[in-house]
Amino acid sequence: MTIKTGFLCDESYFWHDTGNGALFLPPGGWIEADEHGESPKSKRRVKNLLERSGFIHELRVMTPRAATREEIELNHIPAYVDKVKQLSDTTGGDAGELAIVGRGSYEIALLSAGGAITSVDAVMDGKVQNVYALTRPPGHHAEKEKGIGFCLFNNAAVAARYAQEKYRLKRIMILDWDVHHGNGTESAFYYDPNVMFVSIHQEFNFPPDRGAAEDIGEKAGKGYNVNIPLPAGTGNAGYLYALEQAVGPIADQFKPELVIVSAGQDASVFDPLGQMIVTAEGYGKMTSVVMDIAERHCEGRLVVCHEGGYSPAYVPFCTLRIIESLSGLQSKVKEDPFYEAIKGLPSNVLAEHQIEAVKQVVNIHSQNVLY
């Protein structure tokens, strides 16, 4: 049997050093030193669970290459790339708001963006049908000229620009389901009608002034930027409703040639930086909907790049369900070990205010979409 799903990772990703702190703040004042929220733990434990369960043997394990500087500069200005390298080569520091550069982080960030590029090559060349890229540092907040929110280089944006240049793709869809708005990716393609950017996120979370439903792109890109801000407390039902009622129909009009997902598992019920209640099962179902979109329009070509997710205990199970859906196979981990603790939550209840949030987006784009 041909293995259709790739899994990309590298030990170097876990060596990107965000130092200590508490959640997203550095220590000092009344903040006692603790493990930083964007530590490698949740990502490393994804790989550990794949290996412990043996499911990794059902996947085509892939090795990333480093992105070249020229590839990074498809999305970032040279002065910013210089800044990240200078910090990485010396004492480390912030490359922007909460964008920590550790010693050696420049080379790791090149490898992270390169992992997204490697994944694009794999699906475009037909080596695999889809890929889960467990990349770190994350990327979707990173703007062209600065880092933001744990992100240094925008992995998904670099990969999309690369796909445009190498494969001459005219219609790429980037779906971002991280609980935080993908501001950097939005900025990268706000005027570009060849990239449909869709962000499903918790309203007013981070950045608090980005991600409004009314922000639909400008000039040639008008209608090609889709923000779906959902209220706190949204679970599986709300996310699936957004995907089926808004994202699917928009994708059917756009007809992407490649789908890239910025996969943040921080909308999960246990995440400390979000207030959503998506379960591991919910992430598996969300993936199935996105796979259907890719199968309808681009022969299933789908690249999923890891972004946020800050519950080391639960992110591995959410990610496992995503990878199971991508592969069409089931692992030995048949039950969510946290199910008993969360079964009473309304994760599978679709609330009226969640419906209204999605309907607002649908109405806006029914009037403005030009494709």
Look up residue 359 and give its two tokens.
């309907």
pLDDT in tens, 261-314: 999 999 999 999 999 999 999 999 999 999 999 999 999 999 999 999 999 999
Length of the chain: 371
pLDDT, tens digit (0-9, with 9 covering 90-100), for 180-199: 999 999 999 999 999 999 99
For residue 327 the two structure tokens come to 């592969």
Residue-level pLDDT at 156: 98
Which superfamily is assigned to 5-368 in CATH? Histone deacetylase domain (3.40.800.20)
The CA distance from 266 to 264, in Å, is 5
Radius of gyration over every alpha carbon of the chain, rounded to an integer in angstroms: 19
Average pLDDT taken over every residue of the chain: 97
Catalytic position from the list 141, 181, 297, 306: 141
* pTM given for the model: 0.97
Looking at residue 229, what is its pLDDT?
98
pLDDT digit string, tens, across residues 13-57: 999 999 998 999 888 999 999 999 999 999 999 999 999 999 999
- Amino acid 169: pLDDT: 98
Range from 15-29, 142-156, 206-220, 339-353 carrying the lowest mean pLDDT: 15-29
- Checking if the pLDDT of 217 tops 60, the result is yes
Tell me: pLDDT of 112 over 60: yes
Asked whether residue 223 carries a pLDDT value surpassing 80, the answer given is yes
Percent of the chain with pLDDT over 70: 99
Calculate what percentage of the chain has a pLDDT beyond 90: 96
Q: What is the mean pLDDT of residues 203-228?
A: 97
Q: What is the pLDDT confidence band of residue 131, given thresholds at 50, 70 and 90?
A: very high
pLDDT of residue 368: 66
What pLDDT score was predicted for residue 237? 98
pLDDT at 52: 98
Q: Note if 141 is an active site residue.
A: yes
